[in-house]
Amino acid sequence: MSIAEAGEFGLIGRIVSRLGSGSATLLGPGDDAAVVRAADGRVVASTDVLVEGRHFRRDWCGPEDIGHRAAAANLADIAAMGATPTALLVALCVPTGLDVTWAEGLADGLSAEAGLVGATVVGGDTSASPTLTIAVTALGDLGGVAPVRRDGARPGDVVALCGRIGYAAAGLTVLSRGFRTPKLLVDAYRRPDVRYPAGPEAARLGATSMIDVSDGLLQDLGHIAEASVVGIDVRRDSFEPPAQMLDAAKALGVDPYVWLLAGGDDHPLAATFPPGVTLPEHWRVIGSVLDGAGVTVDRKPWTGGTGWDHFR
Amino acid sequence: MSIAEAGEFGLIGRIVSRLGSGSATLLGPGDDAAVVRAADGRVVASTDVLVEGRHFRRDWCGPEDIGHRAAAANLADIAAMGATPTALLVALCVPTGLDVTWAEGLADGLSAEAGLVGATVVGGDTSASPTLTIAVTALGDLGGVAPVRRDGARPGDVVALCGRIGYAAAGLTVLSRGFRTPKLLVDAYRRPDVRYPAGPEAARLGATSMIDVSDGLLQDLGHIAEASVVGIDVRRDSFEPPAQMLDAAKALGVDPYVWLLAGGDDHPLAATFPPGVTLPEHWRVIGSVLDGAGVTVDRKPWTGGTGWDHFR
């Protein structure tokens, strides 16, 4: 059945029936607005939009995958403030000829990814559109801690990373060259594996700044460097790319460090910590904060490309 | 300068520079997420999306108008819960050839409408897209009161309306027939005049249910009737359409009650109150809640059309 046949309320009904309920949800979908617990007295909020052909392709990802990706991009932003996500709101614009099962799959993916952190989809809106577009807003709770911003890094701090990096970018290259394997990389592009609890953990460990790496490590560290008025140096030897990535890079004639340093979509968290901090193993130290400006790799400028501009 | 020439960060910088700051904003645009005060311990949240060609036309409305409309649609949803809006987040998808001044005008309109209630744009996202799309999320504060839902209307309650109705629908008909006057109606379509403080006021007055009338009065009262498991009867003689609306209706050969009862986009608040309530003058009693189901007009079914389905 197409979405045109299901109608607006038919579509909404089908989506809502697939959403779970969360402990922070005081009033879920079905009214003018949702009501979400904000016990902290503050709410963290972020919006990210995915546009077909620019952020995803339906022949590369199923609807559940795209739901996971759309949710992850937003939930990671909440985690990067040191907060725990509580709720998602979704604006879904769809061509009317699309099958309703696609929208149901998307709802399943959004709901499942949110469920990883106990959050739920509490509301949203739908419209017909020639361009399939998914705008997600995530809300989160700071649990009494100060938000970890981008502007607190200080010379001498260590730079650490939590979560996979380069995998999704490698998967995207693989898919764009017409391949479907290695599965590790393609799956990483389809469904990010984000360490959400590492956000609040970093806040507790005294992180001086933090960011969700969504557009490429060097570009996103550049935002921290600019906001904090510092320089950041990243060490190439701090990365241990998996064999599948090195093999794929060789086969495709790509420098794997372009994936690692400039690739997006994995959503690891990058944070700076005071010198001498003891970090859990899943936070890997990858560099240091310096006096100066900009981001270097082994103290040299990087010339291999830097992330995405969504209008180029 | 086109948006492609300005680039993603150029565009964001231009937009952010035009946004004010509000008392509820603890951390505004520029980080992974915003932080907004939620003193009540709960946050009200709603998302509405506007798609070019379906919800607006650039030849009928300037960018400031569209900003006002996009903000109003969301702010009215917050008011309809009995809450006061605190913040907006905006996902803006734009064709790259669009001039940046258009996006700046949109930001001005969004910001100005939010400013009417002391709210501000605290964050968002931008992307290129072939289809101009504006998804807005509004947040709000209940200030200690219970949210006014759709499911609390009881037989014997009075139905009351606060704000203009039929004006925007009449303006839309006028524009779609190629006219630019009467100014009263065209301007009403371009910029809704929403009585936001009437939402929290209704909650204090004991409203048993409330809704933002966005898709047509009868359709939206139908949502209250369905959720509350009651019938609602609306009295035709309770409306006093202005002379310009009656004149336009006559000139265009339209029944003005189609605009009044089935037209959208004005965003008045409709609420039910216990019998015997004393309402301020700006709340006009338009009908009553009955045992039964569905919405009638002078106790008869309405056959003149009912609101919008965004997929038809």
Tens digit of pLDDT for each residue in A38-86? 999 999 999 999 999 999 999 999 999 999 999 999 999 999 999 999 9
pLDDT score recorded for residue B98: 95
Indicate if A136 and A261 belong to the same structural domain: no
Radius of gyration of the CA atoms of chain B, in A: 20
Query: Mean pLDDT, chain B, as a whole number?
Result: 95
Domain CATH code at residue B65: 3.30.1330.10
pLDDT score recorded for residue A22: 86
A220 or A312: which leads in pLDDT: A220
- A298 among annotated binding-site residues: no
Question: Is A268 within the bounds of a domain?
Answer: yes
Question: Is B113 within the bounds of a domain?
Answer: yes
Nearest to A32 among B31, B34, B46 (CB): B46
Domain that holds residue A117: 3-141
Nearest to B47 among A6, A54, A91 (CB): A91
Indicate if B136 and B171 belong to the same structural domain: no
pLDDT in tens, A97-146: 999 999 999 999 999 999 999 999 999 999 999 999 999 999 999 999 99
A21 or B98: which leads in pLDDT: B98
Question: Is B309 within the bounds of a domain?
Answer: no
Across A302-309, average pLDDT: 70
Indicate if A48 and A93 belong to the same structural domain: yes
A126 touches chain B (CB under 8 A): yes
Domain boundary among B113, B141, B169: B141
As for the ipTM of the complex, it is 0.95
Indicate if A129 and A64 belong to the same structural domain: yes
Indicate if B69 and B168 belong to the same structural domain: no
Q: Inform me whether the pLDDT recorded for A307 exceeds 60.
A: no
Indicate if B135 and B218 belong to the same structural domain: no
Q: How far apart are CA B199 and CA B193, in angstroms?
A: 14
Q: Inform me whether the pLDDT recorded for A311 exceeds 70.
A: no
* φ, ψ (nearest 5 deg) of residue B243: -55, -40
Residues linked to residue B115 through DSSP beta bridges, in sequence order: none
Question: Is A190 within the bounds of a domain?
Answer: yes
Chain A residues closer than 8 Å to B78 by CB? 32-33
Indicate if A213 and A104 belong to the same structural domain: no
Indicate if A53 and A94 belong to the same structural domain: yes
Question: Is B148 within the bounds of a domain?
Answer: no
Question: Is B147 within the bounds of a domain?
Answer: no
Percent of chain B residues topping a pLDDT of 70: 98
Number of domains in chain A: 2
- Asked if B33's CB is within 8 angstroms of A81's CB, the reply is yes
- Asked if A89's CB is within 8 angstroms of B47's CB, the reply is yes
Q: Inform me whether the pLDDT recorded for B22 exceeds 90.
A: no
pLDDT score recorded for residue B309: 55
Plot region of B202 (φ>0 → left; ψ -120 to 50 → alpha; else → beta): alpha
Domain boundary among B93, B114, B141: B141
Q: Inform me whether the pLDDT recorded for A94 exceeds 80.
A: yes
| Among chain B residues, CA nearest to A29 | B46
Question: Is A259 within the bounds of a domain?
Answer: yes
Query: Mean pLDDT, chain A, as a whole number?
Result: 95
pLDDT score recorded for residue B116: 97
pLDDT in tens, B129-152: 999 999 999 999 999 999 999 999
B133 touches chain A (CB under 8 A): yes
Question: Is A203 within the bounds of a domain?
Answer: yes
Across A20-38, average pLDDT: 94
Indicate if A133 and A162 belong to the same structural domain: no
Indicate if B200 and B261 belong to the same structural domain: yes
pLDDT in tens, B26-78: 999 999 999 999 999 999 999 999 999 999 999 999 999 999 999 999 999 99
Q: Name the minimum distance, in Å, from the CA of A114 to any CA of chain B.
A: 17
- B48 among annotated binding-site residues: yes
Report B:95-114 residues touching A (Cβ under 8 A): 96
A9 touches chain B (CB under 8 A): yes
Domain CATH code at residue A177: 3.90.650.10
Indicate if B136 and B213 belong to the same structural domain: no
Chain A residues closer than 8 Å to B51 by CB? 93, 127-129
pLDDT score recorded for residue A21: 83
pLDDT in tens, B235-255: 999 999 999 999 999 999 999
Positive or negative torsion for Cα B88, B94, B97, B102: negative
Indicate if B222 and B132 belong to the same structural domain: no
| Among chain B residues, CA nearest to A270 | B32
- B46 among annotated binding-site residues: yes
Q: How far apart are CA A44 and CA A46, in angstroms?
A: 7
> Length of chain B, please?
312
pLDDT score recorded for residue A304: 81
